[in-house]
Amino acid sequence: MRKEERVKFILEVLNTLYPDPPIPLNHNSHFTLLVAVVLSAQSTDKKVNQITKDLFIHAPNAKAMAKLGEDRILDKIKEIGLSRQKAKYLYELSRIIDLIYQGKVPNSFEELESLPGVGHKTASVVLSQAFGIPTFPVDTHIHRLSQRWGLTNGKNVLQTEKDLKRLFPRSSWNKLHLQIIYYGREYCSAKKCDGTVCRICTTLFPRRSRPFIHIRP
C-alpha cells in the first residue's frame, strides 16, 4: 500500500470511529486549558482532571492563580508528577499573563513558548484546542503510531510533526491529533498492539509478522 493510500485509509477509519473527538482535559476557559496542559506533562489526563476540579474553583483565572501563590498551588497539585516544578511554572506564567497580557492567554507560538513551562507541544495544544488554529501536537501516542503506520522515520517528535503536516490536509490537523490519541489508547497502545494486531496496523502492513520497534521521543 502506497503512503497516499495509507493516509486515506487512516482518515477513513479514524473519522468513522471518532467523528467528533472531545478534548480530554476538563477546562472552562483558555487559561484553565493552558493550566491543564502544563499539568499533563508526564501524567494522565484522568489524574489531571481530578486535580484541577478543586484547583479551578480557587484559581479560575490568571489573577486568582497568581494570588494563590506557589506554595498553595503546590499543596493543591502535590499528588501529580513533577508537582513542585509545575507549581512554580503555574505561579510564574499566571503572573505574566495577568500583568503583561491583561489576563488573556496569548495566541501565538512565540508568546506562548515564552511562558514558563510552555514548550512547543503545549503551545500547539493550546493554539489548536483553545483558538482553533491548525497545529499538530505530537505526544508519545502519536509519535509511536506514526512510526508503526509508516508515516515518519521517528527521529524525533519535531520531525514526526513535520511529516504528518506534510501528509495530512491542514483542515484535518486539529481533529486528527485527538483521533490518533484516542485510537492509540483504545486499540493501538504499547500493550494492546505491537504493530501486528489492530485494524489499522494489519491493514497497512498485512505482511508484518514481527513486533514493530519504534524510536522513543
Domains identified in the chain and CATH numbers: 3-20+136-204 (1.10.1670.10), 30-131 (1.10.340.30)
Phi-psi region of 139 (alpha: psi -120 to 50; beta: other; left: phi over 0): beta
C-alpha span between 99 and 190 (Å, rounded): 43
| pLDDT, average across residues 84-110 | 97
Beta carbons within 8 Å of 54's beta carbon, 6+ residues apart:
76
Contact 125, 137 (CB under 8 A): yes
Q: Which of 177, 178, 174 is nearest to 23 (CA)?
A: 178
Confidence of residue 96 (pLDDT cuts 50, 70, 90): very high
Contact 143, 160 (CB under 8 A): yes
State the residue for C-alpha cell 504493530. 195
The reported pLDDT for the residue numbered 104 is 97
Mean pLDDT of the chain: 95
C-alpha span between 170 and 31 (Å, rounded): 25
**Which pTM was predicted?**
0.92
C-alpha span between 117 and 1 (Å, rounded): 41
Phi-psi region of 22 (alpha: psi -120 to 50; beta: other; left: phi over 0): beta
Give the other-Cβ count within 10 Å of 128's Cβ: 20
pLDDT in tens, 132-177: 999 999 988 899 999 999 999 878 899 999 999 999 999 999 999 9
Give the chain's end-to-end CA distance (angstroms, integer): 26
* Size (the chain), residues: 217
Assigned C-alpha cell, 140: 508519545
pLDDT in tens, 37-47: 999 998 999 99
Beta carbons within 8 Å of 69's beta carbon, 6+ residues apart:
91
